Amino acid sequence: MASERTLAIVKPDAVARGLTGTLLARIESEGLRIVALRMVRLSPREVEGFYAVHRDKPFFSPLVAFMTSGPSVLAVLEGEDAIRRWRACMGATDPMEADEGTIRRTYAESKQRNAVHGSDGPSSAAFEIGWFFRGLDLA
Protein backbone atom coordinates (compact mmCIF):
# COMPACT_ATOMS: atom_id res chain seq x y z
CA MET A 1 0.00 0.00 0.00
CA ALA A 2 1.48 3.33 -1.06
CA SER A 3 1.65 6.35 1.17
CA GLU A 4 -1.41 8.54 0.75
CA ARG A 5 -2.84 11.77 2.10
CA THR A 6 -6.17 12.55 3.71
CA LEU A 7 -7.88 15.64 5.10
CA ALA A 8 -8.72 15.73 8.81
CA ILE A 9 -10.73 18.40 10.63
CA VAL A 10 -11.01 18.97 14.36
CA LYS A 11 -14.54 20.37 14.25
CA PRO A 12 -15.79 23.42 16.22
CA ASP A 13 -17.33 21.33 19.03
CA ALA A 14 -13.99 19.69 19.80
CA VAL A 15 -11.95 22.90 19.46
CA ALA A 16 -14.37 24.69 21.83
CA ARG A 17 -13.96 21.92 24.40
CA GLY A 18 -10.17 22.21 24.38
CA LEU A 19 -9.58 18.90 22.60
CA THR A 20 -7.35 20.19 19.78
CA GLY A 21 -4.08 19.06 21.37
CA THR A 22 -5.52 15.74 22.48
CA LEU A 23 -6.79 14.96 19.00
CA LEU A 24 -3.62 16.08 17.18
CA ALA A 25 -1.62 13.91 19.61
CA ARG A 26 -3.96 11.03 18.84
CA ILE A 27 -3.28 11.44 15.11
CA GLU A 28 0.46 11.29 15.72
CA SER A 29 0.17 8.36 18.11
CA GLU A 30 -1.60 6.43 15.33
CA GLY A 31 1.56 6.87 13.25
CA LEU A 32 0.01 9.38 10.86
CA ARG A 33 2.20 12.34 9.91
CA ILE A 34 0.76 15.88 9.99
CA VAL A 35 2.07 17.58 6.83
CA ALA A 36 -0.08 20.74 6.87
CA LEU A 37 -2.10 22.51 9.59
CA ARG A 38 -4.42 25.56 9.70
CA MET A 39 -6.74 26.92 12.39
CA VAL A 40 -9.59 28.90 10.85
CA ARG A 41 -13.19 29.90 11.40
CA LEU A 42 -14.77 28.62 8.20
CA SER A 43 -17.16 30.79 6.20
CA PRO A 44 -20.57 29.50 5.04
CA ARG A 45 -19.25 29.48 1.46
CA GLU A 46 -16.26 27.34 2.41
CA VAL A 47 -18.42 24.80 4.28
CA GLU A 48 -21.09 24.69 1.57
CA GLY A 49 -18.45 23.89 -1.05
CA PHE A 50 -16.64 21.43 1.16
CA TYR A 51 -19.79 19.45 1.99
CA ALA A 52 -21.44 20.03 -1.43
CA VAL A 53 -22.23 16.30 -1.78
CA HIS A 54 -24.67 16.75 1.12
CA ARG A 55 -26.40 19.92 -0.13
CA ASP A 56 -29.77 18.20 -0.62
CA LYS A 57 -29.75 16.42 2.76
CA PRO A 58 -32.05 17.58 5.57
CA PHE A 59 -29.04 18.02 7.89
CA PHE A 60 -27.18 20.33 5.46
CA SER A 61 -28.28 23.73 6.73
CA PRO A 62 -27.73 22.90 10.44
CA LEU A 63 -24.39 21.32 9.45
CA VAL A 64 -23.26 24.60 7.84
CA ALA A 65 -24.38 26.53 10.95
CA PHE A 66 -22.43 24.16 13.20
CA MET A 67 -19.26 24.16 11.10
CA THR A 68 -19.20 27.99 11.00
CA SER A 69 -19.97 28.39 14.72
CA GLY A 70 -16.32 28.65 15.80
CA PRO A 71 -12.78 27.81 14.78
CA SER A 72 -11.82 24.46 13.26
CA VAL A 73 -8.40 22.91 12.84
CA LEU A 74 -7.69 21.62 9.32
CA ALA A 75 -4.90 19.11 8.78
CA VAL A 76 -3.42 17.07 5.97
CA LEU A 77 -2.32 13.64 7.20
CA GLU A 78 0.08 11.34 5.41
CA GLY A 79 0.92 7.69 5.81
CA GLU A 80 0.40 4.19 4.50
CA ASP A 81 -3.32 3.62 3.99
CA ALA A 82 -3.95 6.97 5.70
CA ILE A 83 -7.52 7.45 4.47
CA ARG A 84 -8.82 4.17 5.86
CA ARG A 85 -6.71 4.35 9.04
CA TRP A 86 -7.93 7.84 9.97
CA ARG A 87 -11.57 6.87 9.31
CA ALA A 88 -11.11 3.77 11.53
CA CYS A 89 -9.62 5.91 14.31
CA MET A 90 -12.56 8.38 14.05
CA GLY A 91 -15.33 5.77 14.25
CA ALA A 92 -18.85 5.88 12.82
CA THR A 93 -20.61 9.19 12.12
CA ASP A 94 -23.07 8.60 14.99
CA PRO A 95 -21.19 8.19 18.29
CA MET A 96 -23.88 5.75 19.45
CA GLU A 97 -22.81 3.45 16.61
CA ALA A 98 -19.07 4.06 16.88
CA ASP A 99 -16.77 1.34 18.22
CA GLU A 100 -15.39 1.55 21.74
CA GLY A 101 -12.13 3.49 21.85
CA THR A 102 -12.75 5.50 18.67
CA ILE A 103 -12.57 9.30 18.77
CA ARG A 104 -16.26 9.77 18.09
CA ARG A 105 -17.32 7.18 20.66
CA THR A 106 -15.11 8.90 23.22
CA TYR A 107 -15.64 12.59 22.40
CA ALA A 108 -18.61 13.21 20.06
CA GLU A 109 -21.67 14.89 21.55
CA SER A 110 -24.10 13.84 18.80
CA LYS A 111 -24.32 12.69 15.18
CA GLN A 112 -23.84 16.32 14.10
CA ARG A 113 -21.35 17.49 16.76
CA ASN A 114 -19.03 14.57 16.17
CA ALA A 115 -15.59 16.08 16.84
CA VAL A 116 -13.71 15.16 13.67
CA HIS A 117 -13.87 14.80 9.90
CA GLY A 118 -11.96 12.48 7.58
CA SER A 119 -11.98 12.08 3.81
CA ASP A 120 -13.87 8.95 2.73
CA GLY A 121 -11.80 7.98 -0.33
CA PRO A 122 -8.94 9.00 -2.64
CA SER A 123 -11.01 11.32 -4.83
CA SER A 124 -12.66 13.11 -1.89
CA ALA A 125 -9.23 13.41 -0.20
CA ALA A 126 -7.77 15.08 -3.31
CA PHE A 127 -10.75 17.44 -3.57
CA GLU A 128 -10.77 18.32 0.13
CA ILE A 129 -7.01 18.92 0.39
CA GLY A 130 -7.22 21.18 -2.64
CA TRP A 131 -10.24 22.98 -1.21
CA PHE A 132 -8.43 24.09 1.95
CA PHE A 133 -4.71 23.91 1.11
CA ARG A 134 -4.38 24.85 -2.57
CA GLY A 135 -1.25 26.91 -3.01
CA LEU A 136 -0.17 26.44 0.61
CA ASP A 137 2.95 24.60 1.69
CA LEU A 138 2.73 20.95 2.66
CA ALA A 139 5.67 19.69 4.73
Stretch that binds Mg ion, among 19-27, 28-36, 115-123, 126-134 (CB under 5 A): 115-123
CB 7 within 8 A of CB 78: no
User: Quick one: DSSP state of residue 138?
Assistant: -
What are 82's strand-pairing partners? none
> Going by C-beta distance under 8 Å and a sequence separation of 6 or more, which residues neighbour residue 137?
36
Q: Per CB under 6 A, which of residues 117..136 are in contact with ligand ATP?
A: 117-118, 120
Count other Cβ atoms within 10 Å, centred on residue 99.
10
Please tell me the count of residues contacting Mg ion according to CB under 5 A.
1
Quick note: the x/- pattern for ligand ATP over 26-65, rule CB under 6 A, is ----------------------------x----x---x--
Q: Quick check: is 117 catalytic? A: yes
Please tell me the count of residues contacting ligand ATP according to CB under 6 A.
10
Stretch that binds ligand ATP, among 22-30, 35-43, 76-84, 108-116 (CB under 6 A): 108-116
84 scored as a contact of ligand ATP (CB under 6 A): no
Question: d(Cα 110, Cα 100) in Å, to the nearest integer?
Answer: 15
**Is 119 in a helix, a strand, or coil?**
coil
15 or 137: CB nearest ligand ATP: 15
**Amino acid letter, 82:** A
Chain centroid to Cα 57, Å, comes to 19
- Looking at the annotation, which residues are catalytic? 117
**Binding stretches for ligand ATP (CB under 6 A):** 54, 59, 63, 93, 111-112, 114, 117-118, 120
